Amino acid sequence: MPRPEDRDRPLPFGQAPYDRHAERRADPDWYEHLARDPQARVLVVGDDVVATDGGRLRVLAPDQAVELLGVTAERLLLGADDAGPVAALSVPKVPADLNPRPVRSVVTGLDALHGSLLVHALGLANWHRTHQFCARCGRASQAEEAGHRRRCPACGAQHFPRTDPAVIMLITDGDDRALLGHSPQWAPGRFSTLAGFVEPGESLEDAVRREVAEETGVRVGPTTYAGSQPWPFPSSLMLGFSG
């Protein structure tokens, strides 16, 4: 069973130590205002890669970022921390001189602030990359609200970033043995806790029981919620349970 002290331990990316400043997203000139702040920083993300400096995220000044990447890069307002405002630019390909690295190879080594900023930026970038057309009429949509909404100029439909709820669970028995899974594509000796997406009209607790039964045939009794964290690969919100 999970130890009591583990239940109070914050999950990675589960506590974002910055203000998202949602009230500033409606300002169409937000990037120009941000560029005038000498403390402003910009992250650069691509298709599941990020610009880095050693093992850390590389940050650029707003004007420098636009000069390097062009004015067509998708601009995303992330918010601000005690050091100043933070934005991200999303591009199809991160230039080689910015030392692009796969996000998965970087994200687990970041502190709470930079890890949270990165998954925020990546979640928005993935959504814009895959949802450029209106789901109602099929016409090209346009980004607005500092990258947190898209609008169709043809039919007026509004579209918001996709977040897919998924449960991940540590299932144990009376002898404190954990139920783990192994994918045929994985190397020998690699195992994982079980996880799966929540279906429409389904509670989180029922999703835990269904996924475990589908994958292992084991029937689960009572479950306990442990916590949540974003996991933008490409757009999941992981909701942890024990049972």
Q: pLDDT, tens digit, for every residue of 190-240?
A: 999 999 999 999 999 999 999 999 999 999 999 999 999 898 888 899 999
The larger pLDDT score, comparing residue 45 to residue 10, is at 45
Q: Would 201 be classed as within a structural domain?
A: yes
155 DSSP 8-state letter: T
* Residue 1, pLDDT above cutoff 50: no
33 with 93, same domain? yes
CATH of the domain at 122: 3.90.79
Are 228 and 14 contacting, i.e. CB atoms less than 8 angstroms apart?
A: yes
Alpha helix (H) residue ranges in 98-158: 103-106, 112-130
125 with 176, same domain? no
Q: What is the pLDDT of residue 44?
A: 94
Q: Would 5 be classed as within a structural domain?
A: no
Q: pLDDT, tens digit, for every residue of 120-163?
A: 999 999 999 999 999 999 999 999 999 999 999 999 999 999 99
Q: What is the pLDDT of residue 233?
A: 84
170 with 123, same domain? no
Alpha helix (H) residue ranges in 55-102: 62-69
Report the number of distinct structural domains present in the chain. Answer: 2
113 with 180, same domain? no
Residue 188's Cβ-count burial label (10 Å; 0-12, 13-18, 19+) is exposed
Q: Would 58 be classed as within a structural domain?
A: yes
Question: What is the average pLDDT score of the chain?
Answer: 90
38 with 94, same domain? yes
Domain boundary among 105, 130, 155: 130
Q: Would 171 be classed as within a structural domain?
A: yes
Q: Would 197 be classed as within a structural domain?
A: yes
Give residue 36's domain range: 11-130
124 with 169, same domain? no
The larger pLDDT score, comparing residue 72 to residue 211, is at 211
